[in-house]
């Protein structure tokens, strides 16, 4: 998977989770972007899709290789 595709997949997953958090927010309260709860929900989805339903690998769902720093 190319670095660009990895970033696109990360954005797809994290933005969808954030949208879900916003949509289900009680009383329409606006929730600020926070990667901690997003990553907690992402791990639940990994467990569901990879372990329980066996629909894909963890790498396919959320590629885990680091992207080299722009300063390197």
Tokens 């009383």 identify what position? 27
**What is the model's pTM?**
0.83
Domain boundaries, the chain: 3-61
pLDDT tens-digit readout, 56-70: 999 999 998 655 555
What are 32's two structure tokens? 């600020």
pLDDT tens-digit readout, 34-64: 999 999 999 999 999 999 999 999 999 999 8
Q: Residue 62's closest CA among 22, 18, 5?
A: 5
């Amino acid at each position: 998977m190319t670095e660009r595709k990895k970033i696109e997949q990360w954005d797809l997953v994290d933005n969808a989770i954030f949208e879900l958090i916003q949509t289900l927010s009680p009383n329409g309260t606006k929730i600020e972007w926070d990667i901690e709860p997003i990553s907690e929900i992402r791990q639940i989805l990994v467990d569901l899709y990879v372990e329980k339903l066996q629909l894909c690998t963890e790498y396919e769902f959320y590629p885990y290789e680091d992207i080299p720093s722009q300063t390197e």
